[in-house]
Structure 1
Amino acid sequence: MEARLACPACQEQLTYYDVVNSTHFACPACHVLFSQPAQGPALKVRQFQDVPRLPPCLPLGSLGTMPDGLPYRVTGYMLRKEKSSPARWQEFMLFNPTAGYAQLALYEGHWTFIKPAAELRSKQQEPQSKTRTQRYVLDNDIAYALYNKYQPRILYARGEFDWNILDDERLNVFEYVAPPHMLVQETGMGQQPQWYRAEHIEPAAVARAFGVAISQLPDRDTVGAIQPAPGGDSWPAVRRFTLLLLGLLVLTEIVLASLRPSRQLLSQHFVSGASQALPSFRPDSTEKVLVSSPFEITEPSTVLDINLRAEIDNSWLELPVSLVNEQTGQGFEFTKNMEYYHGVESGESWSEGSVQADATLTKIPAGRYHLNLYPVSENNRPVGFSLTVTENSWQPGNFFLFGLALLVYPGLLYWRRYNHEQARWAQSNYGPLT
């Protein structure tokens, strides 16, 4: 149902839809806000000076279905600002003959659907304060953090309203957020606080609801007060699933370690150039070989960790090593260099190098083995060194590699969510209390 009336200032014919309740009207032609009493002539209330350059992106009279599933008609439009800051936003009044009024707020490209919270209107059912400082309110076990408080100013309006919108300039407004939801409290004018529930809406959903091209809607800027963080509702599931996989990875390592326990096969001390050294079997070498005690590998394919520690001080030791299978003659070779230097220069101590080195040999067949060692030291001086061989010692490399791979996606998502929250609260004078 719709009706028409004439603007008292310019006689422009205005269409309005809430014939029973609308009392104040704003003319889009001459920008006058006026009231229309049930009896008597219309009364001019204010002449708006801050007229937007562009018309509202949702035309008056357009219909759209909101998240509550109900069709609403755009009946009014306001351009508002905060009294103590330059922040401006737009509000579209929505009317459904059965459900009544709702609002659709637009700030820097972010849309919020707002409805009266009738169940919170009574004092007994107001959200409870979680702290004495009123920085949180608790509703249905959800903590809403104070994000903003302000007094509104009406810069411009057009369409119809069921109250004098200028009365809102005497209100104090508190916004509490728990993205993607918000609780809004209005206090002032000696009345009981009024509560509203709000929820975030994506611009694409607004465009579909009102049948407009998304290019007609303003682009988003920064992060909205209740804009969902990246990952949205899926983040708790991603976090739980990642923790589950990490737990399974740890459990797998424990099981594998119990099935193939670590065992030390050899621990021996040597001195390079000592009398126990035998002539080298290398035909082109004058070095002497040191031969370790034999040891047995029982696993069909095992991993050996070989740890070396040299007794060097401001010197070096080069140590070629050959693991020899005494039954087959098969050899596995590697070379390690150890050097350690230190001193004092300009009153500052310094050191470089290390007296230790490690080597890992994989897929070693079962059998009886010994090590051939060909040490070369500085100036061929005798150097003592110790050597241990451990079978199936824990190899952290694969464990940490798989763990890192599991954390890549949730880590990136966490980083994006963290930066999203930082950007959200950078626009607020209030941060979440810790």
Structure 2
Amino acid sequence: MATTNLKAFPEPEEVSCPNCRKIRTLYDPAGSEFYVCTSCQSFNRFITDTTALTQKQANKITIQPVIPLGSEGVLKGIPFKIIAFLQKKEKDTIYGWREYILYNYEKGYATLAEYDGHWNFVAGKEFYPELDKLGKNNWNFIEYNNIEYGLFNKYTAVVTNLIGEFDWDPLHEKIKTAEFVAPPFIIFKEQDKPGTSLADHYLGEYTEPAEIATAFNIDVKLFPEKIGIGANQFSKHYSRWYTVSRFTGILIALLLIIQVISMTMKPENVVMDETFSIARDTTKTGDDFKPFATPAFNIDEKSAAVEFDIESFVDNNWLEATIVLVNEKSNQTWEVTEGIEYYHGYEGGESWSEGSQNATVLLSSIPQGKYHLNIYPASGNPLENSLRIRITTNIATWMNFIITCLVLCLYPLYCWYRMRNYEKQRWLNSDYSPYEEGGE
């Protein structure tokens, strides 16, 4: 077991390799049970406090550690010393990674794990006591501190090469590991006892090389270059989408409040609601109807949206009206043509209907003034003789609100698209991707 409950790192001690007699430095002599001789690669075990025996031969490391053994630094606010370096791989695959064993004299061991240039600070319940509450689970997710971690990978981890000192036999273990991610965090569920559901859990936090380099006073240029996207690498696209979407939501809410306040302060105002009789023009042949003018009405606002509700009780017939809004002072005009048609019947044992007996026309930005309408009606039935027109000002123009909201949503949608593509790239390295084709 690591030597803990101290006030500072223990004094290093030199030991003689029982195989080649070369001197090796131990940084936690009282807490280390095994160590690797850097000269002959013998894997030695202490049988007493001062006597060690060679257990087996260890493979020489193929990659030199970026952070030398014995380096001291403060990472995540905790003082650490590097006491071991391991090269590991997934059993029966070529996928390998590196681990640095960190020793703290108060809490024990933690790990810096590096894969394809992506680093994680990993520690167990000694550093994160809440991990002890996870207990047994066989789900495809883990909930920890109210955050759901999704299953990312399963494998058996084996040690291929190593140097340093240990309080366990890393060459003997073959740990079944499951990884659960919730960027920038990852939980490792490890089982090293066959036939049991008992597991240990470790929490990893994605850590930038610059932070590690600063902690151990190492040139960051020596760190391996990042390849691809890390399993729990935090997405700047997610951060941007989260921030932008919240801000956009606030803007839309403010616009809605402004719209409601505007409607309250300037309520709708009906300036005319009358039914007019229409008649055929007897001076002409055919079914022409006489044009007519409505009584005058006022628009009191400087610039108003004006809505015309047109209604006629057509029955299996149609009616069309050209409406000309006339400013009586400036003679400025606005012209619209609107048709009404309504048909119904009974066919094949079922009733049917289509069309409507009313229509609506909206004109925006009509200036203040006195107005009347010139109406030019037409109908498919010469006996059709009524047309109701209702004019309302201060109509709330929701279309402008909707268009503004859609424009505001364009950038959040772009950020969401970038975030989703980033996540799809992340999960390409997983057999449990939620982005599999046909599985979305």
TM-score by length of 1: 0.71
The 3 A distance-change label for structure 1 pair 57 and 330 is farther
Alignment of 1:404-423 (within 5 A): 404-423=406-425
Secondary structure of the residue aligned to 2:173 is helix
Q: Matches of 1:248 and 1:254 in 2, distance apart?
A: 10
Alignment of 1:247-266 (within 5 A): 247-263=253-269, 265=271
> Could you tell me which residue of structure 2 aligns to residue 182 of structure 1?
186
> Could you tell me which residue of structure 1 aligns to residue 66 of structure 2?
57
Q: Matches of 2:214 and 2:305 in 1, distance apart?
A: 62
Q: Matches of 2:264 and 2:163 in 1, distance apart?
A: 77
1:181-240 Cα shifts (integer Å, max 9, x gaps):
3332322337863332222212221222223224633224224335356454993x7655
> Could you tell me which residue of structure 1 aligns to residue 330 of structure 2?
329
Amino acid at match of 1:331: Q
What is the CA-CA distance between 1:290 and the residue it aligns to?
6.2
2:107/2:126 contact within 8 Å kept: no
What is the CA-CA distance between 1:73 and the residue it aligns to?
1.8
Q: Matches of 2:277 and 2:222 in 1, distance apart?
A: 81
1:173/1:185 contact within 8 Å kept: yes
The 3 A distance-change label for structure 1 pair 154 and 260 is same
What is the CA-CA distance between 1:331 and the residue it aligns to?
0.6
Counterpart of 2:57 (choices 40, 46, 57) is 46
Secondary structure of the residue aligned to 2:199 is strand
> Could you tell me which residue of structure 2 aligns to residue 347 of structure 1?
none
> Could you tell me which residue of structure 2 aligns to residue 360 of structure 1?
363
The 3 A distance-change label for structure 1 pair 318 and 371 is closer
Amino acid at match of 1:26: V
Q: Matches of 2:282 and 2:90 in 1, distance apart?
A: 91
The 3 A distance-change label for structure 1 pair 267 and 257 is same
2:89/2:96 contact within 8 Å kept: yes
Q: Matches of 2:103 and 2:25 in 1, distance apart?
A: 14
Alignment of 1:30-429 (within 5 A): 32-37=41-46, 38=48, 40=51, 42-48=53-59, 51-52=61-62, 54-67=63-76, 69-118=77-126, 126-128=132-134, 133-169=138-174, 171-189=175-193, 193-210=199-216, 211-214=218-221, 216-225=223-232, 227=234, 230-232=237-239, 235=242, 241-263=247-269, 265=271, 275=281, 291-305=293-307, 323-326=325-328, 328-333=329-334, 360-367=363-370, 369-372=371-374, 389-429=391-431
> Could you tell me which residue of structure 2 aligns to residue 282 of structure 1?
none
2:241/2:412 contact within 8 Å kept: no
Q: Matches of 2:97 and 2:24 in 1, distance apart?
A: 24
2:291/2:376 contact within 8 Å kept: yes
> Could you tell me which residue of structure 2 aligns to residue 281 of structure 1?
none
The 3 A distance-change label for structure 1 pair 163 and 133 is closer
Q: Matches of 2:428 and 2:369 in 1, distance apart?
A: 64
Secondary structure of the residue aligned to 1:168 is coil
Q: Matches of 2:335 and 2:245 in 1, distance apart?
A: 43
What is the CA-CA distance between 1:276 and the residue it aligns to?
8.9
The 3 A distance-change label for structure 1 pair 156 and 132 is closer
What is the CA-CA distance between 1:429 and the residue it aligns to?
2.9
TM-score by length of 2: 0.71
Q: Matches of 1:187 and 1:323 in 2, distance apart?
A: 82
Structure 2: segments with no counterpart, 5+ residues: 1-10, 285-289, 315-319, 340-358, 379-385
> Could you tell me which residue of structure 2 aligns to residue 380 of structure 1?
none
The 3 A distance-change label for structure 1 pair 128 and 197 is closer
Q: Matches of 2:133 and 2:433 in 1, distance apart?
A: 19
1:127/1:137 contact within 8 Å kept: no
What is the CA-CA distance between 1:103 and the residue it aligns to?
0.4
1:60/1:74 contact within 8 Å kept: yes
What is the CA-CA distance between 1:113 and the residue it aligns to?
0.7
> What's the C-alpha RMSD, in Å, of the aligned pairs?
4.6
> Could you tell me which residue of structure 2 aligns to residue 19 of structure 1?
29
The 3 A distance-change label for structure 1 pair 404 and 18 is same
Q: Matches of 1:60 and 1:73 in 2, distance apart?
A: 8
- Count of residue pairs the alignment pairs up: 394
Q: Percent identity?
A: 27
The 3 A distance-change label for structure 1 pair 239 and 277 is farther
Structure 1: segments with no counterpart, 5+ residues: 279-287, 312-316, 339-355, 377-383
